[in-house]
Structure formats: structure tokens, C-alpha cells
Amino acid sequence: RGTVLRVEGVSVEYAGERPTRAVRDVSLELRRGELLGIAGESGCGKSTLAYAVTRMLKPPARLTAGRVLYRDREGKETDLLALEGEELRTFRWNKLSMVFQSAMNALNPVTSVGKQFHDIFRAHRPAMTARQRAERSAELLEMVGIDPARLRSFPHELSGGMRQRVVIAMALALDPEIVVMDEPTTALDVVVQREILDEVERLRERLGFSVVFITHDLGLLLDVSDRLAVMYAGEVVEYAPAAELAARPAHPYTQGLLRSFPDLLGPRRELRGIPGSPPDLRLPLEGCPFVDRCEHAFEPCRSTHPVLRDVGAGRSAACHLEGAVVGEH
Ligand code: SF4
Ligand code: MG
């Protein structure tokens, strides 16, 4: 499967008296049709990365380095960070769309669901007739398991789960190749979270788009992701096929996260349970960002920054330990 999106060396800072280096030198690759999971505690930079990749960063956040390359089916590459105005707007809906945590913010509260679909089509598919717009809107709602009669509903008349499904249907309205989802299920209860994730899986198989799925809940991602990136303190510390990461986590942080689920089939818990807290990203960082919380820390960890490197079985980890740690959790 070819690459559809390549993130190369992306860094983002939040301006301030001492700038916060929220995302540092992140490189990732999304293949056509795959689901790439990005997991990490709140504040690890995963949403900031999503905003950078989708060109939605707002001051005081500022991209300081990197490229985000979209590759079309013919292999032609476009740097998303160089797109402006109309080009960017067209790209956003047609090639790449976004689903964020709060469906309520994504939907217009005073406009019916149907009208919101119509507005998308009117703006981006001006050649469609009113009838085609109505048919396509109904089809999209059905696709996410909602009765098309709901096109007449207003957002407040729908449950949280239904609203999030509507937002997903809207994100798919123009057949994008990539959908970036940032905590799309976090506001919902566990059962509804699962249902929505299953729905995303079905849609992805049927329509063939690629997904970047961002969440603080690593457990949610293990069985649906093709590959997983674990972020810590603004960096990717492990990047691996999901099955490998679950069976043989290479980075001590990933191991800690996995240990915080006593049973993967049991109730989901937040990513807690590793004593200590991440470093202050306003201060210079010399060694490993995880050093204060790592039970394996040794001599070079405090002075030398570990870079992401191949540790076998398709895994990469940013850790000084040889072959990283033998994963037990
Ligand atoms: Fe732990 Fe050192 Fe590896 Fe960092 S580099 S995760 S401190 S062993
Ligand atoms: Mg976030």
C-alpha cells in the first residue's frame, strides 16, 4: 500500500515569554487505507500535531519546522504547509477532512442537519442539483446508521452519539482520502465509543479512506489500528504495527501505559498509573523526556536525547536501551 500522507520533522511552538516546544520533530507516515493511531496523555502534543497537519494552528501556536506531504494516486506530492487560500480550502474538504472531539462545536446549533449538508455541497459541489444534494445527504446519514428523517432535526434534538455520527458523515460528504479524528469519541460513554469506532471501521473498509485516529485511550486503539504512534512530551517515543506494540512494547512509557489496563477486555481506564509528570516544555530538554518517570533510566538518559530508531519487528523506539526493553506488561 502506497503512502498517502507523510509528516516530516514537524515542530510546533506556543509563543510566550519562554516558548513551549509542544511538538518536536515528529515524522509519521500514513498509508492508503490504513488506520494510524496516535495515543498519549493529555498535553503530549497529539492535538497540536493534528492541528499542524490539517493547517488549523492558530496563534500563539506556530509551526517552526517540517513538511506535510500529500501524495496522490499518481505519486505526485503536494506540501500541505505551502497551500494557501482557495487551494487549501479545496484540499481540506476533498482530500482531507477532520472530526474533532466536540460535535456540538462542529455543528451549527441553529441550523437543521439537512441544511448543514446542503451548505457543504453548495460550497464545494456547485454543480449538484437540489435533488442530488438531498439524496446524497440521506445516503450519508444512512451510512452512519441514522434515519434520514433526521435531516430535519436540529443538533440539540440528537443524542451525543448521533451528533458525532452526523459530524463523521459530514466529514465523508466529499469522499476524502484522509480523515483526521481527534478524540472523536471521548465525550461519549464507553458503549457508544465502541459503536462509533466500529462504524468508522466499517466505513473505512467500504470506502477505502485512511484515518489518523488520535486519543488518550491507547486501549481503544490496539485492536483497530494498523500502526500506532505513542507520543510523550511532544515527541513520538514509539511507532510500531499495533499488534507488535501490544505484544512487545519497546519503550518504557508504552509499557507503563499498557500496564495501566489490568485487562484489555475489562473496563477501559485513562492513561494513568505512571508516577510523576511530563517535563516542562518551556525549559531546555537535554536527555530523555521520560527520564524522571522511567524505572530503566541509566547513565546516558539524563544527558543524551534518544532519537527514534529501529528496534526490530517493524518497531521504532526513542530509548537508549539496546533493542529497547524486552516488553513485558
Ligand atoms: Fe528510560 Fe532511558 Fe529509555 Fe528514556 S532513554 S525511556 S530514561 S531507559
Ligand atoms: Mg487534545
CA distance 260 to 193: 19
Q: What's the CA-to-centroid distance between 169 and ligand 1, angstroms?
A: 42
324 CB under 6 A from ligand 1? no
Ligand nearest to the CA of 253: 1
Other Cβ atoms within 10 Å of 92 Cβ, number? 19
ipTM of the complex: 0.97
| Domain definitions of the chain by residue range | 3-95+177-200+208-317, 106-175
291 CB under 6 A from ligand 1? yes
Q: What's the CA-to-centroid distance between 47 and ligand 2, angstroms?
A: 4
Q: List all residues 6 or more positions away from 130 whose beta carbon is below 8 Å from its beta carbon.
A: 118
The answer to whether the bond into 60 is cis (omega within 30° of 0) is: yes
Q: What's the CA-to-centroid distance between 44 and ligand 2, angstroms?
A: 8
Ligand nearest to the CA of 251: 1
- Which residue ranges in the chain fall short of pLDDT 70? 103-104, 261-273, 325-329
143 CB under 6 A from ligand 1? no
216 CB under 6 A from ligand 1? no
279 CB under 6 A from ligand 1? no
Q: What CATH homologous superfamily does 3-95+177-200+208-317 map to?
A: P-loop containing nucleotide triphosphate hydrolases (3.40.50.300)
Beta bridge partners of 133: none
Q: What's the CA-to-centroid distance between 321 and ligand 1, angstroms?
A: 7
Ligand 1: which residue has its CA nearest to atom 3?
A: 319
Contact 236, 182 (CB under 8 A): no
Q: What's the CA-to-centroid distance between 182 and ligand 2, angstroms?
A: 7
Which residues neighbour ligand 2 (ion) by CB within 5 Å? 47
For a mutational test of ligand 1's pocket, the pick from 305, 316, 321, i.e. the residue with the most ligand atoms closer than 8 A to its C-beta, is 321
Q: Alpha helices, DSSP H only, in 57-159? A: 85-94, 103-106, 113-124, 130-143
285 CB under 6 A from ligand 1? no
Dihedral sign, CA of 241, 245, 247, 249? positive
Q: List all residues 6 or more positions away from 61 whose beta carbon is below 8 Å from its beta carbon.
A: 12, 13, 14, 15, 22, 48, 51, 52
